[in-house]
A = this chain, B = another copy of it.
Amino acid sequence: MSTPGRLFAAQFRRELVATMRSLQEALNPLVFLFLAITLFALGVGVEPETLGRHAPGIIWVLVLLSNLLALEGLFRRDFDDGTLEQLVLLGEPLFLPVLAKVAAQWCVSGLAMTLLAPLAALLLYLPADALGVTLLTLLTGSPALTLFGAVGAALTVGLRRGGVLLALLILPLYVPTLIFGAGAITLAMAGSDVSAQIYLLTAISMLSVTVAPFAVQAALRISLEQS
């Protein structure tokens, strides 16, 4: 048995290193985000005012989808090369490395997207004064996305081509986060106060931090029983 701190740190470091080795892969979701935004500008038409008015929704939906893309591979490679089963066998208590894995994932996708949001907002003519709120909503909301997503990823890891199935499982769970996130920005654009929504987003993220790791842990054990 090793100390909790050491366990968490080791897993976290491992994840980051592995990500850095396949940096391009880690960047994919971000590129996807901007690709999709560009497509939207092209497909929906670029009258600044309409785009600007819909920007919050578009940004948030696309953040959801690209998050999905990032999560798809969260456990896949570890499962294929057998390190996942070793983690489940040796990692005690398991929820610590799981938490570390998810945290690392969030730093790479959730956090990165948050930081890049202003760029996206710019492309979509989001009024400058709504920028701060956009950042805030993403920062408080994205942890929930990653955590719920991790549950889905853990459930589908054993399956070939789990990619789209994953979407089916977790997108419905994303609904509240999406609504409050996009809604808050819209409200802010209308000039009203949004602290309530921010609190709600934070609450959802908190809830998921407490619940999800255990769900993931259970899901991993279950998925490994198949092979």
Q: Which A residues have a C-beta under 8 Å from some C-beta of B? A: 21-22, 24-25, 27-29, 31-32, 35-36, 38-40, 42-45, 50, 53-54, 56-58, 60-61, 64-66, 68-70, 72-73, 77, 80, 160-165, 167-168, 170-172, 174-175, 178-179, 182, 186
Contact = CB atoms under 8 A, between A and B. Distances in A.
A161 B36 contact: no
A56 B43 contact: yes
A24 B163 contact: yes
Closest A-B pairs by Cβ, 3 of them: A43-B57, A44-B57, A28-B164
A168 B31 CA distance: 7
A1 B60 CA distance: 52
Nearest to A45: B57
A73 B25 contact: no
B57 A160 contact: no
Contact of A73 (B28, B31, B161, B179): B161
Contact of A175 (B42, B45, B60): B42
A139 to B, nearest CB: 18
Contact of A171 (B39, B45, B54, B171): B39
A172 B35 contact: yes
Nearest to A165: B28
A22 B69 contact: no
